[in-house]
Amino acid sequence: MNPKSNVFIYDTTLRDGTQGEGVSFSVSAKLRVAEKLDQFGVDYIEGGWPGSNPRDVDFFQQAKALELTHAKIAAFGSTRRANVSVEEDPQVALLLQAETPVVTIFGKTWLLHVTEVIRTTAEENLAMIEDTVRHLKAAGREVHYDAEHFFDGYKDNPDYALSTLEAAKRGGADFLTLCDTNGGMMVHEVAEVVKTVVTRFPDAKVGMHCHNDCGLGVALSLAGVREGACIVQGTMNGFGERNGNANLTSIIANLSLKLGYEVNCAPKLNKLRDISLFVDEMANLRPDIRAPFVGAASFVHKGGVHADAVNKVKHSYEHIRPEAVGNRTRVLVSDMSGRSSVMMKANEMGFDVDPKSPRMKEFLDELKALEYRGYEYEAADASFRLMLARFLKNKPDHFEVIHYRVIDVHGEWKDELTSEASVKLRINGEVYHTVAEATGPVGALDLAIRKALEQVYPQINSVRLTDFKVRILDGKQGADSIIRVQIESTDGSEIWGTVGASDDIIEASWEALLDSYEYKLLLDNGDGIAR
């Protein structure tokens, strides 16, 4: 077994990650992510490819102003072109102009690509590698050499593959990173090859850059480290080209909590979930509830057996303490787990309920009936709490709806604000009848409700909608099926989810909105129902 040692974390979320389908980062989002990554403690942040993407030139320019505490920014690019001197290669010049402490270049390892893709000779390719590394080192950069398609290249011609690493080493490369660019390798194959490389280059620092095409990105990376690699490249949340890059979120947790390696971000590991969510948000991606360690479902217990057992010897049903990665245990409410899960939830909320009371049974029946009609509470905790509060505390709502109407027009009479909504509410015995216009029906309704509620509850002003999801149930029946709307709202310090369901999208949205405002009012009353 290798002695435990330090492993560097090289984050390419902002470069390789951006190749992922559906991923998009504005330059300002990239800068914010870079700051967060640095605070979290990663060692390297690969920010982009100036020779390929003009927006990246921008990023490097502005990144110079970031006050990073530890992480080094890396510019990514390629070896010089064939038959062009490195001093005259414009792409290499751009790499230097980025003025980053680190430059990472990739070069060809697989003879097939040398001859068929870049159309040059085996020898020229080695010169391209050595020249470029030397040139960058001479300019004072830390240089990482990424051996593209290393494992495929090694299978095809092991001597040539090793000679490309030799060339990089002669040029002075600080790190030699072996890339499974196609993502098709098996764990045992990679382990063997890494062992060979580490043995062959005992003074070199060897790295791993794996992909997830076979669902093995994390395993390949960890296997490489166990054979002596000391730096791992990957992306937060594992997104990237095709099936993604090796998932750094999982790798960091595994290295630190399971395999006993030292990583610089270990002291901040309890921020792992936070940074994972932040990166998804900046990348405009929907978080994966099943993401290892950080996903919302990671420590969720559902189903009778486990829920009981968890109470008794909790630690033995969780492979790590959820708090170690900033996560927590949750109990899922569903018709499978019945009374005990709902009881746990009620207790969590501070209710003192007799599990055998008829009221509890009524509640469970009502819950089943609502779920059958399309309501789903897993992402709508606030709606669930409201329901529990209404049942167990006979809590009246802060306002009552008398009616609402929406008109929506487009075409010949098209105006900018094409939706008008009127709402009539009763609050504390008085009737409030308001109207509002907006560019859409849900927006118009929302403004009209607020116009009414704000007159009595000015704090409503602080509530903002942050997400709005619509799903059709009984999906095969077109536009008249049950529609479930889930919204997420915030008042700047709490975030909460609510749900509505109806065969009418307006009504479903309406329900979710009302619950959101009612929940805000409960939050402010501080009567313990809301967390």
DSSP labels, 444-502: HHHHHHHHHHTTT-GGGGG-EEEEEEEEESSGGGGGGS-EEEEEEEE-SS-EEEEEEEE
Locate all alpha helices (DSSP H) within 87-200, ordered by sequence: 90-97, 111-116, 122-138, 150-156, 158-171, 187-200
Is the CB of 119 or the CB of 354 nearer to a copy of itself?
A: 119
Is the CB of 244 or the CB of 392 nearer to a copy of itself?
A: 244
- Using CB under 8 A as the binding rule, the residues of this chain from 312 to 371 that contact a copy of itself are 312-313, 316-320, 332, 336
Is the CB of 50 or the CB of 217 nearer to a copy of itself?
A: 217
- The least distance separating a copy of itself from the CB of residue 26, rounded to whole angstroms, comes to 10
Segment interacting with a copy of itself, rule: CB under 8 A, options 166-174, 271-279, 345-353, 436-444: 436-444
Query: Which of 289, 369, 431, 495: binder of a copy of itself (CB under 8 A)?
Result: 289
Is the CB of 257 or the CB of 343 nearer to a copy of itself?
A: 257
- Distance, CA of 217 to CA of 232 (rounded, Å): 11
Half-sphere exposure for 267 (CA within 13 Å, toward CB)? 4
- Using CB under 8 A as the binding rule, the residues of this chain from 119 to 148 that contact a copy of itself are none
Interface with a copy of itself, residue 9, by CB under 8 A: no
Environment class of 424 (CB within 10 Å of its CB; exposed 0-12, middle 13-18, buried 19+): middle
- Using CB under 8 A as the binding rule, the residues of this chain from 456 to 475 that contact a copy of itself are 464-473, 475
Query: Which of 235, 256, 298, 516: binder of a copy of itself (CB under 8 A)?
Result: 298
Is the CB of 223 or the CB of 265 nearer to a copy of itself?
A: 223
- Using CB under 8 A as the binding rule, the residues of this chain from 415 to 434 that contact a copy of itself are 418-419, 424
- Using CB under 8 A as the binding rule, the residues of this chain from 369 to 398 that contact a copy of itself are 378
- Distance, CA of 400 to CA of 428 (rounded, Å): 9
Query: Which of 288, 397, 454, 494: binder of a copy of itself (CB under 8 A)?
Result: 288
Is the CB of 7 or the CB of 222 nearer to a copy of itself?
A: 222
- Using CB under 8 A as the binding rule, the residues of this chain from 44 to 83 that contact a copy of itself are 52-53
DSSP labels, 55-71: HHHHHHHHHTT---SS-
Contact at 8 Å (CB) between 7 and 41? no
- Distance, CA of 96 to CA of 138 (rounded, Å): 11
Is the CB of 201 or the CB of 468 nearer to a copy of itself?
A: 468
Q: How far is CA 436 from the centre of its chain?
A: 37
Is the CB of 171 or the CB of 295 nearer to a copy of itself?
A: 295
Query: Which of 277, 300, 364, 370: binder of a copy of itself (CB under 8 A)?
Result: 300
Contact at 8 Å (CB) between 482 and 456? no
Cα–Cα distances in Å, from 347 out to 93, 380, 406, 513?
63, 18, 40, 26
- The least distance separating a copy of itself from the CB of residue 53, rounded to whole angstroms, comes to 6
Report which DSSP code applies to 45. Answer: E
Report which DSSP code applies to 289. Answer: T
Tally the residues of the chain. 531
- Distance, CA of 421 to CA of 441 (rounded, Å): 7
- The least distance separating a copy of itself from the CB of residue 138, rounded to whole angstroms, comes to 26
- The least distance separating a copy of itself from the CB of residue 288, rounded to whole angstroms, comes to 8
Name residue, tokens 């509530």: 463
Name residue, tokens 């709202």: 489
Site string for a copy of itself, 484-513 (x = CB under 8 A): ------------------xxxxxx--x---
Interface with a copy of itself, residue 296, by CB under 8 A: yes
The alpha-carbon radius of gyration of the chain (Å, integer) is 28
Is the CB of 113 or the CB of 144 nearer to a copy of itself?
A: 113
Site string for a copy of itself, 259-278 (x = CB under 8 A): x-------------------
- Using CB under 8 A as the binding rule, the residues of this chain from 211 to 230 that contact a copy of itself are 212-219, 222-223, 226
CB neighbour list of residue 140: distance below 8 Å, 6 or more residues apart: none
